[in-house]
Chain A
Amino acid sequence: MNSSIYDFRYETHASFETDAGLTPEIVEQISKEKNDPDWMREFRLKSLEIYQKTAVPNWGPPLDGLNMDQIITYVRPDTPMRGKWSEVPDDIKNTFERLGIPDAEQKSLAGVGAQYDSEVVYHNVKDEVARQGVVYTDMESALRGPYADLVKEKFMHLVPPTDHKFAALHGAVWSGGSFVYVPAGVHVDIPLQSYFRLNAAGAGQFEHTLIIVEPGAYLHFIEGCSAPKYNVANLHAGCVELYVGKGARLRYSTIENWSKNMYNLNTKRALVEDDGIMEWVSGSFGSHISYLYPMTILKGNNSHMDFTGITFAGKTQALDTGAKVVHNGRNTSSHISTKSISKDGGICVYRSEVIIGKDAIGAKSSVNCDSLMLDSKSRSDTIPAMDVRNADSDVGHEAKIGRISDEAIFYLMSRGLSEEDARAMIVSGFAEPVAKELPLEYAVEMNNLIKLEMDGSTF
């Protein structure tokens, strides 16, 4: 298979670039350019102070290759925001077409807020969704729109800039992203989809996603990421904040396929009220280094969280992924199920924490992680932490690590498959529990990615 279809780029014509490196002046400049409200300008400057005071993590894969002075934090493409697909410039359109965006839209996906570099360039919510009262817009518009007060109240409330160094960086330089508001009782039948991409050399991407699902409502949000290869160290430090109201349900699906030089230091967090359900489906494929641990705070009684994840690390990759869950409400439950595959010297780390709070009477949590080693050059570590602070709870954990058995390969080969096909089939089967949680077109993309990764000769 030809891997180049997932690894392409066009020249960018940026109309505005900040100086490399990060100073209060740059942050002021970003804020001015984006026409921020005053509180946001102050928030950015405060975050910058925290960023400069906070040390990089002493755990996890090395971040030595990340030179912040070289990373240009803000690149805006030539196009101002567009509402119609026909008005989007051709080269950007081509990029999206090769990623399958218009096709996906034709298949009745609700809206596309595709991000090209750091600005939302294309934005479209289907009329039927808007008629239900659902707001799907870019973050910049949300800051000034009718929901401005709500945004001010919730913005970086779940993930404060003090959380870690890259959350602080995000607070200082965030740009773009989506805002979704689903009113009480509204069931959004079609998934909302947004595709993030990074294109300019040395450009960081710091999109902010804020989703509020009011009581009794339902939403499926899909975030897909794909970026072309580049030589300069690239950084992605996005932030996702999800508020799941009483009895509401939110499904958040992601396939991340960043280019192989990307540092993906993304922070995702959800707060779930009484009887609410949070479902995560997460696939991590690309990037050079990833730190990704979607976190769920089960605040409400009877709230529930499900996490299904897959990570595939190939050559030159160290993907440190997992999940965090904090049980605070009574009778809360969580289930984490992850798969990881290491190949060609790739490093997979599963890292998690399950915290059962003092008042989380009747909490139940189960964690299940399987790791598959495809050769002896690769590495796979499992680092799950559990902290249980109340006796009336049940916490279970299981992990397995191993290889594809010779017997399975032998059997499939005896049925006429080549060894490569047999291995690919077994790996696809291993990933199946994740694939079946994804919408069809994403499952297809994931299977293609696995095939690409398995076909070592193209890398």
Chain B
Amino acid sequence: MGEQNILKVNPLPTLTWNHLMLNFANLPLESGSQVKADIPSEFDGIETGMGEEFVSFVENHAAAVRVIRAGKGQDLGVIRDENAGTSSEVILIDAGEDSQVTFYSHASEKACPGTQMTRLVKVIARAGARVTVIQSQTLGDDVMAADDFGAVVGDEARVHLIQAELGGKAAFAGGCAALKGYKADFTEETIYFGDGSRRLDFSYVTRHTGKKTTTSILASGALFGSSDKVYRGSMDFIHGCSKSKGREAENVLLFSKEARNRSIPLILCDEEDVDGQHAASIGKINKDLMYYLQSRGLTESQARQLAVESRFNPVIDEIPDESVRQEIHASLERRMNLD
């Protein structure tokens, strides 16, 4: 067992009242073997959602580093992460012009032998590239999970990130996209599930510098038990990013008196010609919907399950592996079946 470190992660791009405890999160991680990963220099300085302290920790303790390069116009198809669930991994994707890459990593309870799991993905999407990164986890209740992502998006390139944080003692996740190119696009979808005493902590940031850049950040979650969740979603429109657009939305269903939900959706803007919107909806499930479903013969627990899965399914369906989709459905069903 290594030394215990407390990392400051998921920093809010601008500070607010300290008593809200939203300016950053503390992530306790044990340092394993000190192996300085060999990171190609082009990936230096890419901002991620979880921030510098996390990146430097992971890069100094990485058990596995993998570099994926797609040449100009190359389609690499779907690349599966065979090491998913190992203690610490770094994935670096350099997608050449007009190339296509989908990287997919699922960490299940069985696959993770330790008590912590960290994944870091950095992406360079060059002009016209299409990159999709999927990180999902259904880890056990004794694992500390952290999923981080950072991308630089070039001219007319598109980056799509999916994070499904469905297990773990605590799950920290973050994503950041630097939209530098003309018409660079970033879409992000997160689903999270809190039960027991799980702590969930998220931070997403988009930095718009290119013209006509677009962003969509969507999060959907359900909180049971005494779970405690913090969600930070920030769009930063930087001077010069004219005609850029950003949409951000979070929907949270609360099922327990003991659960706690904190959300802070930010828009930072010093460019006039932009269009930014965010919305958040937090609360209990619609009573009429519950009544209708129960009147059709569903138990309360089944009705709840249906309501949650109907929100999660569009995201789960994007996972390119039938067995993983089934595992996730089974895991959710087991956790939500309170009858």
Contacts and interface: CB of A to CB of B under 8 A. Distances in A.
Interface of A: 58-60, 351, 353, 358, 371, 373-376, 378-403
Interface in B264-291: 264-284
Interface of B: 14-18, 20, 22-23, 223, 237, 239, 242, 252, 254-257, 259-284
Q: Which of A380, A386, A402 has the most CB of B within 10 A?
A: A386
A388 B266 CA distance: 18
B269 A381 contact: yes
A380 B272 CA distance: 9
A378 B267 CA distance: 14
Contact of A395 (B256, B276, B277, B282): B282
A252 B20 CA distance: 27
A270 B18 CA distance: 22
Given A358-B257, A393-B254, A401-B274, A383 B266 contact: yes
A201 to B, nearest CB: 33
Q: Across chains A and B, which 3 residue pairs bring their CB atoms closest together, nearest first?
A: A59-B15, A394-B283, A391-B254
A38 B297 CA distance: 71
Given A358-B257, A388-B262, 11 more contacts: A59-B17, A379-B270, A380-B270, A386-B262, A387-B20, A388-B252, A393-B254, A393-B282, A395-B280, A403-B272, A403-B273
B268 A376 contact: no
Contacts of B16: 59, 351, 383, 385
Contact of A384 (B257, B264, B270): B264
A401 B269 contact: yes
Contact of A385 (B262, B270, B272, B275): B262
A301 to B, nearest CB: 17
A374 B272 contact: yes
Contact of A386 (B18, B264, B269, B270): B264
B217 to A, nearest CB: 13
B275 to A, nearest CB: 5
A397 B278 contact: yes
A395 B292 CA distance: 23
B266 A373 contact: no
Contacts of A353: 17, 20
Given A59-B16, A394-B283, A396-B280, A381 B267 contact: yes
A397 B231 CA distance: 14
A393 B267 CA distance: 25
Nearest to B252: A388
Nearest to B228: A389
Given A386-B280, A393-B284, A59 B239 contact: no
B260 A387 contact: yes
Contacts of A394: 281-284
Nearest to A320: B16
B283 A59 contact: no
A318 to B, nearest CB: 12
Contacts of B282: 386, 388, 393-396
Contact of B264 (A60, A383, A390, A393): A383
A394 B286 CA distance: 10
Q: Which of A374, A391, A395 has the most CB of B within 10 A?
A: A391
A391 B267 CA distance: 27
A376 B264 contact: no
Given A385-B263, A386-B263, A391 B284 contact: yes
B18 A58 contact: yes
Contacts of B18: 58-59
